[in-house]
Amino acid sequence: MTGWKSSALPRADKSRIMKPTMKKLKIADREFGSRLIVGTAGFPNPQAMRESLRASGAEMVTVAIRRANLDNGSDENILTYLKEDNYDILPNTAGCYTAKEAVLTAQLAREAMGTNWVKLEVIGDDETLFPDVPELLKAAETLLDDGFVVLPYCNDDPITCRKLSDMGCAAVMPLGSPIGSGMGIRNPYNIRIIREVTDVPIIVDAGVGTASDATFAMELGIDGILMNSAISQAKHPVTMATAMKLGIEAGRLAYEAGRIPRRLYANASSPLEGIIDVDTNS
Nearest to 119 by CA among 141, 146, 161, 91: 91
Q: 39 forms bridges with which residues in the sheet?
A: 62
Report the C-alpha gap between 43 and 230 in whole angstroms: 11
Around Cβ 104, how many Cβ atoms within 10 Å?
15
CB distance 58 to 32 below 8 Å: no
Report the C-alpha gap between 229 and 206 in whole angstroms: 9
Amino acid identity, position 154:
C
Contacts of 142 (CB under 8 A, 6+ apart): 99, 103
Phi and psi (nearest 5°) for 155? -70, 160
Report the C-alpha gap between 122 and 239 in whole angstroms: 32
Amino acid identity, position 202:
I
What are the catalytic residues? 119
